[in-house]
Amino acid sequence: MKMKMNRLFVKNFELFRTLVVILIGFAISLILIYFISDEPVKAITTYMFKPFDGIRRIGSMIEYMIPIMFAGLGMCMMLSVSQFNLIGDGALFLSAAAVSYFATVLIPNCPPILFPIVMIVAGALIGGGCGAIPAYLQSRFKTNIVVVTLMMNYVLILGGVYMLLYWMRDPSKTYVGSLPIPDAAKLATIIPKTHVSLGIILAIVATVAVNWFLNQTKAGYQMRMIGQNPQFAKYSGINVVKYVIIAQVIGGALAGIGGAVDILGKYDRFIWLTSNGYGFDGMMIAVIAKGNPKHIPLAALFLAYIKIGADLVGTTTDVPLDFVLVVQSVIVMLVAAVSFMSGVRQKAVVKIASAEKAGV
């Protein structure tokens, strides 16, 4: 019986480890609240339970999940070829801005139904283009993908802001915002009283699609082999440069779709002046999911939960919003710490191996 437990533990070690990490992160946030707050009980219950209190709040969690799932899936594509390409944030921002520009200024009279489809495709193309640039630079000139994408994010985000300020700003408003996005372009809301749009369904479809693509198709297989051992891929006859670039183009495209879907599902006007950090949230959930697209929805739900919980704590109690950043950082750090808990695993492994030897 005990042996069975040991075996189960070793087999699902990554899952156990991630759960423990999340629990630790959660415990740290509770301790933090306890020390910061004058009314810790209220703050802690707000943090833990308020996100589920009412359809509106559950709705805001799901709303938050939509763009970060796309960004996370995009990051899974990057990780599948072992490239830490962080273009997602900029790609998502720029395509959100560009899609707003198309919808408000360029083709505001596109027929309904076709309209959002055209917009999403446009978002994918722009995101894909953003992903292609650092991928090409890396394979052609051996530039460092992390440095290039971090720098490029500034360019893309400020490019998006430029579009807002000079190409589509509504002069009749006192605040900075684009012209109104035509209703025909918007994605239908599927849960009343919330902003949860069709986007969540698209995000789930995208999850299934990316999972299928990576595991069941020829192209996905080649990308995974490249990610695991590029030399082996080359020796087997796989065109490494081609598939490394394609994977990153798809990754950028997914982030781009995320930007388009977020704008079309939630906003009346494009009003972003800085990044929302969706791209980096996507990176975080991809790391928590260990690059496995199947686990993206769960990771996204978890992140949305602590984010909304922290939002509520920040607005309704005396705890500052920033503490959510601390929690996130701890969790990502622990998930990324490869040998965290390896000692526990080693002990279980020793027990199993000893038992097996004794049995032989």
Residues near other proteins (CB under 8 A) are: 10, 212, 216-219, 221-222, 224-225, 228-229, 231-239, 342, 345-346, 349-350, 352-354, 357
Residues contacting residue 143 through CB under 8 Å, at least 6 positions apart:
134, 137
Nearer to other proteins, 10 or 184 (CB): 10
Nearer to other proteins, 140 or 347 (CB): 347
Residue type at 156 in one-letter notation: L
Contact 104, 179 (CB under 8 A): yes
Nearer to other proteins, 239 or 316 (CB): 239
What's the min distance (Å) between Cβ of 255 and other proteins? 23
Residue 197 φ/ψ, nearest 5 degrees: -105, 180
What's the min distance (Å) between Cβ of 77 and other proteins? 16
Nearer to other proteins, 10 or 150 (CB): 10
What's the min distance (Å) between Cβ of 341 and other proteins? 12
- Looking from the CA of 142 toward its CB, the CA atoms found within 13 Å total 0
- Residue found under tokens 């960004």: 71
What's the min distance (Å) between Cβ of 219 and other proteins? 8
Contact 200, 65 (CB under 8 A): yes
Nearer to other proteins, 162 or 212 (CB): 212
Nearer to other proteins, 25 or 291 (CB): 291
Of the candidates 314, 344, 358, 353, the one whose C-alpha atom is nearest the C-alpha of residue 14 is: 344
What's the min distance (Å) between Cβ of 235 and other proteins? 4
What's the min distance (Å) between Cβ of 192 and other proteins? 39
Distance CA 28, CA 139 (A): 42
Residue 63 φ/ψ, nearest 5 degrees: -55, -45
How many Cβ atoms sit within 10 Å of the Cβ of residue 234?
Answer: 14
